[in-house]
Structure 1
Amino acid sequence: MNPQHETAAPPNWARRITEATMAISLGIMVLAVFINVLLRYGFDTGIVFYEELSRLMFVWLVCIGAVLAAAEGKHLGFDMVISRLKGWPLKACTLLAQLATAYCLILVAKGSWEQVKAGMHTFSTVIGYPLALAAAGTLVMSVGMLIVLALQISGRLNNAASDAESRVE
């Protein structure tokens, strides 16, 4: 384990709330899809509401999961170059990569905000929810990942894969 990365992990309560939210969302999605499949193949009917609900919940599930994966350092990474570096070159390359990631996340947040604004007056076909609700998932994801990245840069949260071997489950 690299000593520079020995910092606090994400708070356990936040992780548990996030995982519970994801589990509940996944359970509702599975139940909705299962009921729809039974209705379609058993009774030649279906509930269209469930399709839109499942799609919306899937978007939010992926976005919340992406923030959790970022906080736990479980996103895929390419470290062939930095694994061979030590000292200030390692710190410089790591900071450069983090700043590039922050820039990309800011672009995602900006685009997501524009989609949220555009979706405020546009509604889904079946359920009738504002389409901004779906676009808000990527906005929450990008802002959440920016917060995680800021904590990583400040040293208050574990950096990505430097100690991945010790965290493999």
Structure 2
Amino acid sequence: MAPRLAGMVLAVFLHMVLRYFFNTGLAISEELSRLLFVWLVCIGAVLAMAEGKHLGFDMVTSRLQGRSAAVCRWLTRALIAVALYYLITGSWQQVLAGLASRSPVMNYPLALGAAGTLVMGAAMAVLLLAECVAALRHGDRAAPSASHLD
């Protein structure tokens, strides 16, 4: 993630210096920084899910125990799965639409930007599946929910 962030900062900084001191600029800086930012956010979201660092609202569920807590955890996983389904299918449609379109300056396929959310959704689905398998194998208490805040 650090190289993407560094590339984004460098592109914007270089564009700013060229624009204000030399009255010119890098035409690719906006497109490059936007593309890198999309991928940075998507990879960061996957890492946050893998580490259980996504924001969670557990004011009620943290007080539950036993069967009701397990039901809530499985309901949460089911809702996450539904959201990921819509994210993946929508991202796939955007990738297909972006294959025929090119960016105006850098001339890369716009599918490359949409692919960030597709990769993110697929990776999160794999993490969710692994969490469900671990919960089934070791009992629901052994597998922390991906939406739970540490």
1:84 matched to which residue of 2? 63
Distance 1:25 1:162, change over 3 A: closer
- The DSSP-based 3-state class of the residue aligned with 1:77 is coil
Report the identity percentage. Answer: 53
Structure 1 residue 160, shift from structure 2 partner: 3.4
Distance 1:122 1:161, change over 3 A: closer
Structure 2 gap segments, 5+ residues each: 136-142
Provide Cα deviations, 1:87-124, integer angstroms capped at 9, x if missing partner.
11101110001111110111010000000001101000
1:116 matched to which residue of 2? 95
Please list every run of at least 4 consecutive aligned residues from structure 1 whose deviation after the TM superposition is greater than 4 angstroms: none
Cα distance in 2 for partners of 1:70, 1:162 equals 9
State TM-score, norm by structure 1: 0.81
State TM-score, norm by structure 2: 0.90
Cα distance in 1 for partners of 2:58, 2:121 equals 23
What amino acid is aligned across from residue 121 of structure 2 in structure 1? S
Structure 1 residue 148, shift from structure 2 partner: 1.1
CA RMSD of aligned residues (A): 1.5
Please say if residues 72 and 158 of structure 1, whose CA atoms lie closer than 8 Å, have aligned partners that are also in contact: no
User: Greater relative contact order: 1 or 2 (C-alpha under 8 angstroms, separation 6 or more)?
Assistant: 1
Cα distance in 1 for partners of 2:11, 2:59 equals 43
Distance 1:108 1:35, change over 3 A: same
Cα distance in 2 for partners of 1:98, 1:148 equals 11
1:147 matched to which residue of 2? 126
Equivalent residue pairs, number: 143
Cα distance in 2 for partners of 1:128, 1:66 equals 27
Structure 1 gap segments, 5+ residues each: 1-21, 165-169
Cα distance in 2 for partners of 1:83, 1:138 equals 31
1:19 matched to which residue of 2? none
| Aligned counterpart in structure 2 of residue 159 of structure 1, from 121, 145, 149 | 145
1:43 matched to which residue of 2? 22
Structure 1 residue 163, shift from structure 2 partner: 7.3
1:135 matches 2:114: yes
